[in-house]
Amino acid sequence: MEQLIRFNNDYNCIAQKNVLKALMETADEAYPGYGTDLWCEKASGTIRALCKAPEAAIHFLPGATQANFIVIASAISPVENVICADTGHIFCHEAASVEKTGHKVTALPARDGKITSEQVEEAAKAYYDSPQDFLTIPKLLYISFPTEYGTIYTKDELTAIKEVCRKYGMYLFVDGARLGYGLASPKCDLTLEDLARLTDVFYIGGTKCGAMFGEAVVITNDTLKKNFRIYMKQNGAVLAKGWLMGLQFETLLKDGTYLAIAKQADEYALRLQDVFKKKSIPLYVESPTNQQFVLLTDDQMDALKDRFVFEIEGRADEDHTLVRFCTSWSTKESEMDALVRAIETL
């Protein structure tokens, strides 16, 4: 049987080849545990330099769900809550991990995965104009970059959102599980430096962007730096062999590999988008990054599913299903060619 070609996600291969090479080259070395090693130190330095944030605290966590709920749990008190988009990963895909830590999550209706500064202002104002003892306090805004629908915020949009947060004393936390694909997009006018400057805390996703696993949390707000390591430990996010993450991030970030491989995936995704448009297959959302959401007919689904794996999001209407095609740092040109041809001949 011919092997299926995977376009269902961006975490279906072990790691980018430089990462694997680095692992092999250090296979005989012995390191101190729990992230107190030289690789974590080196990667932290590289990240601070890229972010132009020499005072930032950098922490490496194995997974993105961990990063999300631990950042939130460490940042807000039991009587404070989180605002996010109703398509936000913490609201829809993480088994109520934030509520598990005791916090209400208030979801605002998203458009193409994004929310606006006006929406945030309205939600914040509703509380802060007349605080009530029977309400918890909106204290942290969570957004994803890129969003769960592959869209990205512009620098103007993010600046306006940050301004609202600052006005109301709220933290801005950016989930960057797919950060590379966002920053590398031709439509993106934001840089790592902008993110560090405009957020209180964000993370640089490794798991979906070329690493075996690992997310690099960047904390620029001093208040949020306090005791973060204990929060990590308490929630099981201190990896014994922490240097594995330092090593991977250093490898990916020191020479631009991180953005280069994401850029390739984005280009593939936009090539896909072009083909969908040419074939008049409706885009569900205009995404400038590696996730492409389209509406397929049953016939189209049938024609593709024997050779390609893609993610089925749900029935959209009587005739269409919403599906996601996801390119990856690991997508090969030959795989792209095969998929493009298959779509062209639908």
Question: Which residue number, 83 or 190, has a Cβ lying nearer to a second copy?
Answer: 83
Question: Which residue number, 51 or 61, has a Cβ lying nearer to a second copy?
Answer: 61
Q: Does 31 bind a second copy (CB under 8 A)?
A: yes
Task: Evaluate whether 292 touches 280 at the Cβ level (below 8 Å).
Answer: no
CB neighbour list of residue 303: distance below 8 Å, 6 or more residues apart: 342, 346
DSSP one-letter code for 267: H
Site for a second copy in 313-332 (CB under 8 A): 330
Strands (E), the chain: 5-6, 57-61, 80-85, 105-108, 137-144, 171-175, 201-205, 215-219, 291-297, 308-309, 311-315, 320-326
327: its two tokens: 């390119």
Kindly determine how many residues on this chain lie close enough to bind a second copy according to the rule CB under 8 A.
72
Where does this chain touch a second copy (CB under 8 A) — which range of 6-14, 108-116, 160-168, 274-282? 6-14
Q: Does 23 bind a second copy (CB under 8 A)?
A: yes
Q: Does 26 bind a second copy (CB under 8 A)?
A: yes
DSSP 77-139: -TTEEEEEETT-HHHHSSTTHHHHTT--EEEEPPBTTB--HHHHHHHHHHHHTS--TTSPEEE
Question: Which residue number, 23 or 281, has a Cβ lying nearer to a second copy?
Answer: 23
Question: Which residue number, 11 or 325, has a Cβ lying nearer to a second copy?
Answer: 11
x/- track of binding to a second copy for residues 229-258 (CB under 8 A): xxxxxxxxxxxxx--x--------------
Identify the CA nearest to 205 among candidates 181, 187, 237: 181
Question: Which residues does residue 81 pair with via DSSP β-bridges, in sequence order?
Answer: 138
Site for a second copy in 277-306 (CB under 8 A): none
Sheet holding 311-315, edge to edge: 291-297, 320-326, 311-315
Site for a second copy in 95-124 (CB under 8 A): 95-97, 99-105
**In this structure, how many other beta carbons lie within 10 angstroms of the beta carbon of residue 217?**
27
Question: Which residue number, 1 or 30, has a Cβ lying nearer to a second copy?
Answer: 30
Site for a second copy in 52-91 (CB under 8 A): 62-66, 69-70, 73-74, 77-79, 81
Minimum gap (Å) between residue 13 Cβ and a second copy: 5
Q: Does 310 bind a second copy (CB under 8 A)?
A: no
Minimum gap (Å) between residue 168 Cβ and a second copy: 15
Q: Does 11 bind a second copy (CB under 8 A)?
A: yes
281: its two tokens: 């297959």
The residue from 2, 30, 109, 333 that contacts a second copy (CB under 8 A) is 30
Site for a second copy in 123-162 (CB under 8 A): 133-137
Minimum gap (Å) between residue 247 Cβ and a second copy: 9
Question: Which residue number, 278 or 315, has a Cβ lying nearer to a second copy?
Answer: 315
Identify the CA nearest to 71 among candidates 168, 172, 186: 172
Q: Does 17 bind a second copy (CB under 8 A)?
A: yes
The residue from 20, 49, 260, 338 that contacts a second copy (CB under 8 A) is 20
What is the sign of the dihedral through the CA atoms of 139, 195, 188 and 289?
negative
Q: Which whole-number Å values give the CA distances from 246 to 9, 75, 89, 146, 207, in the listed order?
A: 24, 24, 25, 23, 13
Site for a second copy in 170-199 (CB under 8 A): none
Q: Does 33 bind a second copy (CB under 8 A)?
A: yes
Quickly tell me which residue has 């008190």 as its tokens: 77
Please provide residue 326's backbone torsions phi and psi, each rounded to the nearest 5 degrees: -125, 115
